[in-house]
Chain A
Amino acid sequence: DAGVIQSPRHEVTEMGQEVTLRCKPISGHNSLFWYRQTMMRGLELLIYFNNNVPIDDSGMPEDRFSAKMPNASFSTLKIQPSEPRDSAVYFCASSRPGFSGNTIYFGEGSWLTVV
C-alpha cells in the first residue's frame, strides 16, 4: 500500500513568494495532520482534520499559514507570503478510524527553504 505522499519533496523559494505544500493521505484514513519540524522548536503540530473538517488549528503560527482539505484524499498547506523563518521540514501524517491510541503514519516531508 502507498504511504502518505507529499509534494514537493524540496522547495527553495524567495521571501514573499507563495508556497503550497500538498499531501495525499493513506486511503481509508480519516484524520490528517500537518506538522512542522525545526532544530529549535522540534516537531510542532500545526493543524489537524477529521473527515475533511479542521478540528484544531491553534498551532498555525500566523495568518500567513492556511490549510485546506477539499476531499478525503488531498490536503494543502499554504504559506503566503513566505518568510525565511518559515524554513523547515513540513510533515503530513494520517490515521485511520477506530485506531488504538496514537498510531499515525507520516509522509517523507517537504523540505522548505525560504531565502
Chain B
Amino acid sequence: LAKTTQPISMDSYEGQEVNITCSHNNIATNDYITWYQQFPSQGPRFIIQGYKTKVTNEVASLFIPADRKSSTLSLPRVSLSDTAVYYCLVGPTGTGGFKTIFGAGTRLFVKA
C-alpha cells in the first residue's frame, strides 16, 4: 500500500480557500486517491476520489498532477463547520476489500 504524507495541521479563516497537499511517491498504477473528512465525535466520511487530473464535486476539488505522486484537496470558501480532520488514502480498485489504513490526517481549524 502506498504511504502518504500530509501536514499535521493547518489554520485558516472563514471565506478562504484551503489547499491540503498529500504526497504519495510510491503510488501504483491501479491506485486511486481518496479523501475523507472526520468531524469530532463522528466516523470519517468520504468526500472525494480521483485517479488523475481534476475531480470536482459539491464539497471539494481534487487536483492530481500527471505523475500522480501527490494530490491536493481544495476546499473553496471554508466555513467554521469545515473544521475537521482530513485524511488522504491511496489504494487499489478491487472487487473485495483490502487493508484500508488511515494515517494521522491533517487537522484543519477554521477561525472566524
| A residues whose Cβ falls under 8 Å from a Cβ of B | 30-33, 35, 42-43, 45, 48-51, 55-56, 91, 93, 95, 97-109
Contacts and interface: CB of A to CB of B under 8 A. Distances in A.
Given A42-B102, A103-B49, A55 B97 contact: yes
B99 A101 contact: no
B46 interface: yes
B45 A102 contact: no
Interface string B82-98: 00000101111111110
Contact of A45 (B41, B51, B100): B100
B32 interface: yes
B100 A102 contact: yes
A45 B99 contact: yes
25 contacts: A31-B96, A35-B102, A42-B102, A45-B100, A49-B97, A50-B96, A50-B97, A55-B97, A55-B99, A56-B99, A93-B43, A99-B94, A100-B93, A101-B34, A101-B49, A101-B51, A101-B89, A102-B100, A103-B34, A103-B49, A104-B46, A104-B100, A106-B43, A107-B43, A109-B41
A34 to B, nearest CB: 11
A93 B104 CA distance: 18
B44 A33 contact: no
Nearest to A105: B46
B42 interface: yes
A104 B38 CA distance: 13
Contacts of B94: 99
Interface string B24-50: 000000011110001001111110010
A101 B96 contact: no
A55 B98 CA distance: 8
